[in-house]
Amino acid sequence: MKTVITYGTFDILHRGHINLLRRARALGDRLIVGLSSDEFNAGKHKSSLLNYENRKVVLESIRYVDYVFPEENWEQKLTDIKDYEASIFVMGDDWEGKFDFLKDLCEVVYLPRTAAISTTEIKNSLNPEFDAIKN
């Protein structure tokens, strides 16, 4: 069985997220998602509109996702790949090159983002002051 692993906050779910999850799942037999915990997001100075539990329920309901677990820190990816026996690590291409150090453990794939959609753009359209808040 080929396991694909990916990570993210997955706040304000949109077609870009679904496209990424669908394409990631198509690379293997199962897709597991490390979902950024609220504490990890706070440490990254990142906010989300929905808390971890709400984001987890939404992700678990998506047919492409087989399992969701909390992402608590950057370093856990190394042990997660081993613990979940992941064959493929997937991230959006805006992270290109940042996770190449994982290539000793598994295949690393950077998928193209969906054009003209992003969580940040959605947040900014809902609240123009969001950009000032996140910085």
Number of DSSP helices (H) and strands (E) in the chain, helices first: 6, 5
* 134 given a catalytic annotation: no
**How deeply is 126 buried, as exposed, middle or buried, from its count of CB atoms within 10 A (0-12, 13-18, 19+)?**
exposed
- For 94, the token pair is 């805006």
Candidate list 44, 82, 98, 134, residue with the active-site label: 44
Which has the closest alpha carbon to 103: 69, 127, 78? 78
Candidate list 46, 82, 98, 103, residue with the active-site label: 46
Which has the closest alpha carbon to 89: 101, 128, 37? 101
SS3 135: coil
What residues act catalytically?
Answer: 44, 46
